[in-house]
Amino acid sequence: MTSGRVKRKAAMAAGVIPAAATEPLACALCGRPLGRKVEWHHVVPKSEGGVETAPVHPICHRTIHALVGNADLARVYPKLDALRERKDVQRFLKWVANKPPDFHAPTRRSRAGE
């Protein structure tokens, strides 16, 4: 049995699906162009019953999970727009805005909530 991603890659290699049609253009959190590495964030965590995913930079993905626990992602921030309203997320977005798409830096867990 093959997964959807394997089928999609095989179809792209065969020329059935153009690569550009399946690749997202911008990060769902920060809006910057995506680089070579793309991670898929479950907007509502799988452990909380979520199925919808959104393409994000690895640094954006790590920041989301460093700042907010899965239970709060599901109950308080079930949409990325709500998450962007947090002051600590706004600080991160301002800081990362001018970084290149493949920028990487260590991500630290938040010491205090918001």
Least confident segment among 1-15, 25-39, 45-59, 82-96: 1-15
Instruction: Measure the CA–CA gap between 33 and 100, rounded to whole angstroms.
Output: 8
State residue 114's pLDDT score: 47
Confidence bin at 107 (pLDDT 50/70/90): confident
Q: Where are the domains of the chain?
A: 25-114
Residue-wise pLDDT tens digits, 59-80: 999 999 999 999 999 999 999 9
Query: What pLDDT, on a 0 to 100 scale, did the predictor assign at position 112?
Result: 52
φ and ψ at residue 26, rounded to 5 degrees: -135, 155
If you ran DSSP here, which 8-state letter would residue 53 be given?
E
More confident site: 53 or 15: 53
Angle 52-42-113 from CA coordinates, rounded to 5°:
135
Could you tell me the pTM of the whole model?
0.73
